[in-house]
A and B are shown apart, each in its own frame.
Chain A
């Protein structure tokens, strides 16, 4: 095929969009609707996933160490040579206990590959946090400053995979110097379950919708081509090759796909932003904090756009090729 014919056929494909405008409208309508449904399902699933992930991130494990005095007594009771307490360490020297804290932090960081971040919270910081939480009554804790502080040093541990929480928890408990580990096991389990459910249900809905869309779209294109089968026949009688007949239809398919993708994309963009805006304006503070983790449109804009363009153009082209095949055997 020479460039001359190619240009002519391209033009023919674009022209026939207009000459068969009712069918164009029907195809674009169906394709847009399908893209919209799939797009919203994807966004919904992604958002629920994101929310669960946000809640996961809030979930911290706290590993409490023995207090220095308790650990000192424990060693004595076990018959080991006890260390020099910080209060007895000469000034200017690093105490045994602060070295022990550093060692313990290193042990926690390497206890297994599920550890994401370890933050040391000294007993002074712990007390300060406690005071802030108590608000006005915080002054009640003023007597427990310095030597009187009953709180232990602790580590706030962020973990990567919540489903392996209990395993990590028991590993942490094994570490020398750790007295207890506090973790919200039941919350973690619920979140993990929700996440699994959302993924399974969400993506099966998306898959089902994709299949339904494909069926509807192929049928629409088939109807378009059926209404033009005479035209195809005539072309064959005049000596047109299959590719000569096919190219305008493929061009048409690409155009239908592009138009639908653009319309669906704009609709999703506007709809999503509108819904997001309404929720943020009107929802209660509890909902607002939940919705704060909603993915902003610009974060998914590129992926969604690429997904729409590729899938709709592919559907348009494949639909054209598949449905035309049965009609050009003359």
Chain B
């Protein structure tokens, strides 16, 4: 699913961000990436989304070699994954329904499919009654659930969540991760970046810790609610 082999990455201004990273995430896994700010978490996300290209090593996601992918193929690749950001990144001029539908529209889905699929996903996320609202009219937690719905609506095999709990209230954070866990149980691979150790300790699972651009820890840790 995700395969980083000997990946190093240096920004244009010569700041080294990642140093010889090896990382492998299998289909169906749920993995946390933790680390303090500046450790290199966002750089990994940028490589995985093909916003940046690795300086050396190979990055493979969903079968696409991101070092060699052609610019024309990038949209096609991005449709194979769902992305959730800390700042939600909803389109302010579209209502909740259209924000979620946007993921489908870029794939040329038929109106009929959109009309049946989007309400289904919104319902799943507990947003059925917010479909006509605009992003600025709903709470942060709800916005993040809209973002999650948008990531899910294409039924992608992989969801990348970049600090999805960073901008929502603590109690809602758990709700968001609960949702992600639920999605994972249905077979979707999930990679979640966070700096909130409480959440990791609460849920447990594979945890990859990054410091100064290197992987310093990659093990399975048991959560407090294990077996709940």
| Chain A contact residues, CB within 8 Å of chain B | 1-2, 4-5, 8, 15-16, 19-20, 230-231, 233-242, 244, 330
Q: Are B51's CB and A235's CB within 8 A? A: no
Q: How far is the CA of A107 from the CA of B150 in the complex (A)?
A: 88
| Chain B contact residues, CB within 8 Å of chain A | 49, 51, 75-79, 83, 89-93, 102-103, 105-108, 110-111, 150
Q: Are A238's CB and B93's CB within 8 A? A: no
B92 surroundings in chain A (CB, below 8 A): 231
Interface of chain B, main secondary structure: loop
Q: How far is the CA of A5 from the CA of B77 in the complex (A)?
A: 19
Q: How far is the CA of A75 from the CA of B77 in the complex (A)?
A: 102
One of B51, B103, B108 near A330 (C-beta < 8 A): B51
Given contacts A20-B93, A234-B89, A239-B103, contact A4 B110 (CB under 8 A): yes
Q: Are B91's CB and A5's CB within 8 A? A: no
- Give me 7 other A-B pairs in contact (C-beta within 8 A), A233-B89, A237-B89 excluded: A1-B108, A4-B110, A4-B111, A231-B91, A236-B75, A239-B76, A239-B107
Q: How far is the CA of A160 from the CA of B43 in the complex (A)?
A: 76
One of B75, B90, B105 near A8 (C-beta < 8 A): B105
Q: Are A5's CB and B108's CB within 8 A? A: yes
A2 surroundings in chain B (CB, below 8 A): 108
Q: Are A237's CB and B111's CB within 8 A? A: no
Closest beta carbon of chain B to A113's beta carbon, Å: 61
| Closest chain A residue to B150, Cβ basis | A238
Q: Are A241's CB and B90's CB within 8 A? A: no
Q: Are B75's CB and A239's CB within 8 A? A: yes
A1 surroundings in chain B (CB, below 8 A): 108
- Residue from the set A4, A16, A19, A238 with the largest chain B CB neighbour count within 10 Å: A238
Closest beta carbon of chain B to A206's beta carbon, Å: 38
Q: How far is the CA of A8 from the CA of B75 in the complex (A)?
A: 19
| Closest chain B residue to A243, Cβ basis | B75
Closest beta carbon of chain B to A69's beta carbon, Å: 94
A231 surroundings in chain B (CB, below 8 A): 91-93
B93 surroundings in chain A (CB, below 8 A): 15-16, 19-20, 231
Q: Are B90's CB and A237's CB within 8 A? A: no
Given contacts A231-B93, A330-B51, contact A237 B78 (CB under 8 A): yes
Q: How far is the CA of A234 from the CA of B98 in the complex (A)?
A: 13
Given contacts A16-B93, A19-B93, A230-B89, contact A238 B103 (CB under 8 A): yes
Q: Are A239's CB and B105's CB within 8 A? A: no
| Closest chain B residue to A8, Cβ basis | B105
Given contacts A1-B108, A231-B91, A234-B89, contact A241 B51 (CB under 8 A): no
Q: How far is the CA of A16 from the CA of B94 in the complex (A)?
A: 10
List 29 A-B residue pairs with CB atoms under 8 Å apart, sorted by A's residue number.
Answer: A1-B108, A2-B108, A4-B110, A5-B105, A5-B108, A15-B93, A20-B93, A231-B91, A231-B92, A234-B91, A235-B91, A235-B102, A235-B106, A236-B75, A237-B83, A237-B89, A238-B79, A238-B83, A238-B103, A238-B150, A239-B75, A239-B77, A239-B78, A239-B103, A239-B106, A240-B102, A242-B75, A244-B75, A330-B51
Q: Are A4's CB and B108's CB within 8 A? A: yes
Q: Are B89's CB and A241's CB within 8 A? A: no
Closest beta carbon of chain A to B90's beta carbon, Å: 7
Q: How far is the CA of A236 from the CA of B85 in the complex (A)?
A: 14
Q: How far is the CA of A159 from the CA of B134 in the complex (A)?
A: 73
B103 surroundings in chain A (CB, below 8 A): 238-239
Q: How far is the CA of A5 from the CA of B107 in the complex (A)?
A: 9
Closest beta carbon of chain B to A111's beta carbon, Å: 70
Closest beta carbon of chain A to B176's beta carbon, Å: 19
Q: How far is the CA of A235 from the CA of B79 in the complex (A)?
A: 11
| Closest chain B residue to A228, Cβ basis | B93
B89 surroundings in chain A (CB, below 8 A): 230, 233-234, 237
Q: Are A240's CB and B75's CB within 8 A? A: yes
Q: Are B111's CB and A238's CB within 8 A? A: no
